[in-house]
Amino acid sequence: MAPVIIFLHGVPTWSFTFRNIFPDVVKAGFRVIVPDLPGFGYSDKPSKREFYSAHNLFNIIEGFISAMRIKKVCLFTHDWGAILGMILVAQQPELCHGIIVCNGLLPDQNQKLPLTFSLWKIFTKYSPCLPVGGIVNFASLSRLSRDEREGYNIPFKKQKTKTALRILPQMIPFKGLDINLVEDSWKKLDNCYTPILTVFSDRDPITRDGENIIQRRIPGAKDQRHKKVRGGHFLMEDVPTELAGIAIEFFNELYGKRM
């Protein structure tokens, strides 16, 4: 059976965001799974605020992988997907061959959040309209076509479908049980040798310099060929072909060592 790669998207997107990347990864010989996180895309969208916690979302991802009877995976993660992916690597290192972290980071309690992220939290909380396609277009260097913007919007036509889009940004910095999960995950990541490759853009004001924290703290990130590429927050729109090539090279190297 082909090696399994799981793509985890962030906020406010869904699996559609990887449409220009995973076909090349499939052609390279990998089995690709691109789920929609709860509250996004075509997954269920619970309306209760308490449903959305890092602890619960992690348990769901972990349960999903178990239900699929997958024993080993590699991860390609972006934004909130990176938060969940880094927790998964920390809590289940025997499950993960490696992870690509793209413009995302598991934030700890000592991390200062940038002003841009604070503005993003205000916007998602109070704006009467959250046009997902427009947001992605604004935060990318590339300009999306009308069809692409509409593609992002399709699962979020009604306001009641945008609960997760509004709640997840407000959860950072984490509170309650999530603090315990994040602190425990970082303790484990500080001693984690699972290969971690960072791919960050040079023009993202939200995650800028996040790669330095990963590279400095996590042993598995040492001596990796980390990438800094030209783009905004949504590199999947700006440099999809380059991202696919980076991913294939990383995954081939990991699985080549195991063949």
Question: Could you state, in order of their start, the residue ranges of all structural domains in the chain?
Answer: 4-256
pLDDT above 50 for 31 = yes
Is 55 among the catalytic positions? Answer: no
Tokens of 18: 């990887």
Can you tell me which residue has the tokens 């729109």?
237
From 9, 78, 97, 204, the catalytic residue: 204
Q: Does 3.40.50.1820 match the CATH number of domain 4-256? A: yes
Catalytic residue status for 233: yes
- Computed over every residue of the chain, the mean pLDDT equals 96
Structure-block tokens of residue 149: 């913007």
pLDDT at 256: 79
Give the pLDDT of residue 110: 83
Burial of 127 (0-12, 13-18, 19+ CB in 10 A): exposed
| Residue 84: φ, ψ to 5° | -70, -35
Q: Which of 79, 97, 178, 238 is catalytic?
A: 79
**pLDDT band at 257; cut points 50, 70, 90:** low
Write down the pTM of the prediction. Answer: 0.96
Average pLDDT score over residue span 36-64 = 97
Confidence of residue 259 (pLDDT cuts 50, 70, 90): very low
169 has pLDDT over 80: yes
| Known active-site residue 9 | no
Mean local confidence (pLDDT), 92-104: 97
Q: What does the alpha-carbon distance between residue 162 and residue 190 come to, in Å, rounded to a whole number?
A: 35
Summarize the confidence of residues 144-159 as an average pLDDT: 96
Q: Is the pLDDT of residue 121 over 70?
A: yes
